[in-house]
Amino acid sequence: MRLALYLVLCFFSVSSFAGSGKAIVPSWIAGGNNSITVLTISNITDNDIAVNVVFYGKDGQVIQPSQFENFTLGNSVITAGNTGQVRISSTTSQYGYAVINWENTADDAADDTIALVARGYHQVVDTARRTNSLIQINNGMPF
């Protein structure tokens, strides 16, 4: 009886997390016309993945991204095997963190426990040089 209960609990605890996930982007910075942050997000599954990226400012307010690249369906889906980018820029100094949420759009969504791998970079360009700094997301591991 205990074994059966244990197996049922294991099944439900694993399957309840399958088909969706999230990762925290620990920091982003944007400001002026020469400072941006870009997140590169790759779909490593055979299914289309609904992706929602929410940037939070220093006071917890939601900041809208400036540009999406290679997303479909109103900047909300990265198709199977593809990579998209989300860019945030601002005319005033802004900084904070972000959250990347994903959900499998396929009928067999329970099969995917991981779907994305992502990284980011902060870029500053002035007249003399360009500087990039890497932003690790989920320690470089898929989520």
Instruction: Tell me which of 108 and 76 has the higher pLDDT.
Output: 76
The answer to whether 123 and 29 have CB atoms below 8 angstroms apart is no
Count: domains in the chain:
1
User: Residue 113 is which amino acid?
Assistant: T
pLDDT digits (tens, 9 = 90+) for 104-132: 988 765 578 999 999 999 999 887 888 89
Q: Which domain holds residue 32?
A: 19-140
Residue 24 CA to residue 72 CA, distance in Å, equals 22
Instruction: Give pLDDT, residue 61.
Output: 97
Distance separating alpha carbons of residues 10 and 3, to the nearest angstrom: 10
Q: CA 6 to CA 78: how far, in whole Å? A: 37
**What per-residue confidence (pLDDT) applies to 110?**
58
pLDDT at 10: 44
Q: Compute the mean pLDDT over every residue in the chain, rounded to the nearest whole number.
A: 87
- Read off the pLDDT of residues 6-34 as tens digits, 9 standing for 90 and up: 444 444 444 445 689 999 999 999 997 78
- The amino acid at residue 36 is I
- pLDDT value at residue 3: 47
102 occurs within a structural domain: yes
What per-residue confidence (pLDDT) applies to 126? 82
Domain contains 29: yes
User: Is 53's pLDDT higher than 90?
Assistant: yes
pLDDT at 25: 98
Q: Is residue 98 included in any domain, yes or no?
A: yes
- Amino acid sitting at position 12: F
**Would 1 be classed as within a structural domain?**
no
Q: What's the pLDDT score for residue 107?
A: 74
